[in-house]
Amino acid sequence: MRISLSQAVQNLQQGQVVAVPTETVYGLAASLSSVEGIEKVFALKKRPPANPLIIHVPEIAAILPYVKEAPPFFQELAYGFWPGPLTLILPIKEELIPAVARAGLPTAGFRVPKHPLTLELLRQTGPLVMPSANLSGRPSATIPEHVEEDFGEAVPVLEGGACQKGVESTILMYEQEKWVIVRLGSLAPDAFKMALGYAPAIVQKEAAEKPLCPGQLFRHYAPRAHLTLGGKLPMQAGTFILGFSDRYYPFQHRVIHLGSSHNPAQVAERLYYCLRQLDQEGAQEAWVDMNFPREGLWLTIAERLERAAQS
């Protein structure tokens, strides 16, 4: 069901869950002030309670009351990248944020998204928690139809078109005197050089005891099809291929085009759409062309594909 902005505001204020667009992916929103709504988000997604949510606000000033102590270069990052596809993990005043939303951690993730409709929504509702609007483990949703595939009538959707970026926000955390990337995303590591004077290190896989980003522990982004990443291209006719529109593959294969091999922004935008397309077409197996650079936004694309291939 598609709903209007005013209906979405009303639902959220009543502690209900609404899917809303952002520039990265669709989010499954509940009001930060409704513990019941937040619990519904976890239940609907079948999300492990140990995986905390990101808090979305309409402007930087709305974050400050929650923050215990802003790390160095917070202002540079905030004013440099918000509204936009950046999430900052910050130490918080615990009494102000329900423990369910942050999996009991003394920190929380914050983001000011860049989507006019969602900013207007946030101005009217106040802070919203929003994980990606997919069943836990599935590829994220980048169009309203994806949300409906996963949740049917259970979640009304605020229609906001297709998401421009197509992959989630980049998540930064301040650890041992430096900002580090705990989840690769829509902003490439180099994007932060101007603001920080260095490209943050990518700290993805942590010792299981204390992961910097709990979400990295769980299976993610996976279509039903089994993915083979690179290596020898299978010759069998009818094999599904996730490949590039400017390359040739054997004609008897079914190629789903991620976009041009020279345009990582386009590939990122289409990535989850293509993973879901495999399911739409009933693919059991698919071969993925991994012949692309490991730099910039390609790093994020490679990481998502690697996680999608884990079973």
- If the CB atoms of residues 173 and 255 are measured against ligand TXA, the closer one turns out to be 173
Residue recorded with tokens 């949510």: 53
Query: What minimum distance in Å lies between the beta carbon of 235 and ligand TXA?
Result: 37
What are the C-alpha distances in Å from 85 to residues 43, 113, 168, 201, 230?
A: 26, 6, 7, 18, 29
Query: What minimum distance in Å lies between the beta carbon of 48 and ligand TXA?
Result: 10
Report residue 86: phi and psi, to 5°. -125, 135
**Residue 227 binds what, of ligand TXA, Mg ion, none (CB under 5 to 8 Å, by partner type)?**
none
- If the CB atoms of residues 58 and 131 are measured against Mg ion, the closer one turns out to be 131
DSSP letters, 173-226, are EEETTEEEEEE--SS-GGGGHHHHSSPPEE--S--TTS-SSGGGGS--S--SSE
**Residue 183 binds what, of ligand TXA, Mg ion, none (CB under 5 to 8 Å, by partner type)?**
ligand TXA
- If the CB atoms of residues 144 and 215 are measured against ligand TXA, the closer one turns out to be 215
- If the CB atoms of residues 71 and 131 are measured against Mg ion, the closer one turns out to be 131
Contacts to ligand TXA by CB under 6 A: 22, 24-25, 27, 51-54, 85, 87, 89, 102, 105, 107-109, 111, 113, 130-132, 168-169, 171, 183, 213-215
Other Cβ atoms closer than 10 A to 49: 11
- The SS3 of residue 170 is strand
The 226-229 sheet, strands edge to edge:
226-229, 285-288, 240-244, 254-259
**Residue 269 binds what, of ligand TXA, Mg ion, none (CB under 5 to 8 Å, by partner type)?**
none
The answer to whether 28 touches 41, Cβ cutoff 8 Å, is yes
- If the CB atoms of residues 132 and 186 are measured against Mg ion, the closer one turns out to be 132
**Residue 25 binds what, of Mg ion, ligand TXA, none (CB under 5 to 8 Å, by partner type)?**
ligand TXA
In this chain, which residue has its C-beta nearest to ligand TXA? Answer: 215
Contacts to Mg ion by CB under 5 A: 132
